[in-house]
């Protein structure tokens, strides 16, 4: 089964390539080899490779920068996925895609199910939602995995930022009124390969949107405190910095973030056994893979 992995140098793309099962023949391309905003390039690569499945791990992910670079965000997150979707549909192959908790407003108090109304609060979330809609309208065999708060040993993420700040500063302030589910890139890649295996075996999946995120839900502040505890325990930090909980209002950012970003993952769990990974354990695995 030849699998084209787009965005192979990102956090999730890297894990997809690293964890590819034996039966898969993965071809991983970064933006330098395939710019998904270029329809002619997408057409040429897909027609030459003739994959059996496309997994798109590429995206414009700079949430704050997207507020001032809306065209660039939409070019990748809506139009790019549209080009991939058109080719997948033409070949009659499935396209797996990753989306985000930021498609929701964050006004809820219960975990979001897949069928709940979307209302993104910023350009990034809106561009990702537009991508979901283009994909669903263009490619029949589509699977959209919405996830949140991604971390991993490869690439930039909150864990690495905290480790750097923890080394540089004696004390730092972290937002405590946004609640969400940290999710390892590794567990997302495992979930996608599991779905690919089911698809390979059964010839199809129940197409549509699935939520997949780590458990349990926490605030960024609680996430940071656990990062520091674990980093201290495994020798990545020499001393515990003082961590002060603050509100989103005290830490203004160009993009407004949802206060409640908790995804209900029961649909994927019931249908395909996609069990949410415990993020504290995933964090341990990630920290163990980092150079000290």
Ligand X SMILES: NC(=O)c1ccc[n+]([C@@H]2O[C@H](COP(=O)([O-])OP(=O)(O)OC[C@H]3O[C@@H](n4cnc5c(N)ncnc54)[C@H](OP(=O)(O)O)[C@@H]3O)[C@@H](O)[C@H]2O)c1
Residues with active-site annotation: 124
What residue has token string 């499935």?
94
From residue 32 to residue 71, the character string flagging contacts with ligand X as x (rule: CB under 6 A) and all else as - is: x-xxxx-------------------xxxxx----------
User: What minimum distance in Å lies between the beta carbon of 183 and ligand X?
Assistant: 7
Residue 10 binds ligand X, judged by CB under 6 A: yes
Q: Residues touching ligand X: how many (CB under 6 A)? A: 30
Residue 30 binds ligand X, judged by CB under 6 A: yes
Q: Which of 5, 9, 78, 178 binds ligand X (CB under 6 A)?
A: 9
Closest by CA position to 265, among listed 219, 216, 217, 210 = 210
Do residues 145 and 279 make contact, with C-beta atoms less than 8 angstroms apart?
Answer: no
From residue 95 to residue 134, the character string flagging contacts with ligand X as x (rule: CB under 6 A) and all else as - is: ---x-x---------------------------x------
Which is nearer to ligand X, 62 or 232 (by Cβ)? Answer: 62
User: What minimum distance in Å lies between the beta carbon of 129 and ligand X?
Assistant: 11
Nearest-CB residue for ligand X = 10
Residue 148 binds ligand X, judged by CB under 6 A: yes
Distance between CA atoms of residues 79 and 59, nearest Å: 11
Which is nearer to ligand X, 76 or 93 (by Cβ)? Answer: 76
Pairing of strands 179-180, 218-219: antiparallel
Q: Which of 147, 178, 190, 230 binds ligand X (CB under 6 A)?
A: 147
Residue 155 binds ligand X, judged by CB under 6 A: yes
Q: Which of 3, 4, 12, 46 binds ligand X (CB under 6 A)?
A: 12
Which is nearer to ligand X, 38 or 52 (by Cβ)? Answer: 38
Do residues 145 and 96 make contact, with C-beta atoms less than 8 angstroms apart?
Answer: yes
Torsion on CA atoms 67, 68, 72, 77, rounded to nearest 10? 0
Distance between CA atoms of residues 59 and 7, nearest Å: 7
Which is nearer to ligand X, 182 or 202 (by Cβ)? Answer: 182
Which is nearer to ligand X, 242 or 290 (by Cβ)? Answer: 290
Distance between CA atoms of residues 285 and 182, nearest Å: 14
Where would I find the H helices in the chain? 11-18, 39-49, 70-74, 81-91, 123-138, 158-168, 185-202, 220-233, 266-272, 279-289
Distance between CA atoms of residues 142 and 54, nearest Å: 10
Q: Could you tell me the end-to-end alpha-carbon distance of the chain, in angstroms, rounded to an integer?
A: 38
Q: Which residues would be at the binding site for ligand X (CB under 6 A)?
A: 6-7, 9-13, 30-32, 34-37, 57-61, 76, 80, 98, 100, 128, 147-150, 155, 185
């Amino acid at each position: 089964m030849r699998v084209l992995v787009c965005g192979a140098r990102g956090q999730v793309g890297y894990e997809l390539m690293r964890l590819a099962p034996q039966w898969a023949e993965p071809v991983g391309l970064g933006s330098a080899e395939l710019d998904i905003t270029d329809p002619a390039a997408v057409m040429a690569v897909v027609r030459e490779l003739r994959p059996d499945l496309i997994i798109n791990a590429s995206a414009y992910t700079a949430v704050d920068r997207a507020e001032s670079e809306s065209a660039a965000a939409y070019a990748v997150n809506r139009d790019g996925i549209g080009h991939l979707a058109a080719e997948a549909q033409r070949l009659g192959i499935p396209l797996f895609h990753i989306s985000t908790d930021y498609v929701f407003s964050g006004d809820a108090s219960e975990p979001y199910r897949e069928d709940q109304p979307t209302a993104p609060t910023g350009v990034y979330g809106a561009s990702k939602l537009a991508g979901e809609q283009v994909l669903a309208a263009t490619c029949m065999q589509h699977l959209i995995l919405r996830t949140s708060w991604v971390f991993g040993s490869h690439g930039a993420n909150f864990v690495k930022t905290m480790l750097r700040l923890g080394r540089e500063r004696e004390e730092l302030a972290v937002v405590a009124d946004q609640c969400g589910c940290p999710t390892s890139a590794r567990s997302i890649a495992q979930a996608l390969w599991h779905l690919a295996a089911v698809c390979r075996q059964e010839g199809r999946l129940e197409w549509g949107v699935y939520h997949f995120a780590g458990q349990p839900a926490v605030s960024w502040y609680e996430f940071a405190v656990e990062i520091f505890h674990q980093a201290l325990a495994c020798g990545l930090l020499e001393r515990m910095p003082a961590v002060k909980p603050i509100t989103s209002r005290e830490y203004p950012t160009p993009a407004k973030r949802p206060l409640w970003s908790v995804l209900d993952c029961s649909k994927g769990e019931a249908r395909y056994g996609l069990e949410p990974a415990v993020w504290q354990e995933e964090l341990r695995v990630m920290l163990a893979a980092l150079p000290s």
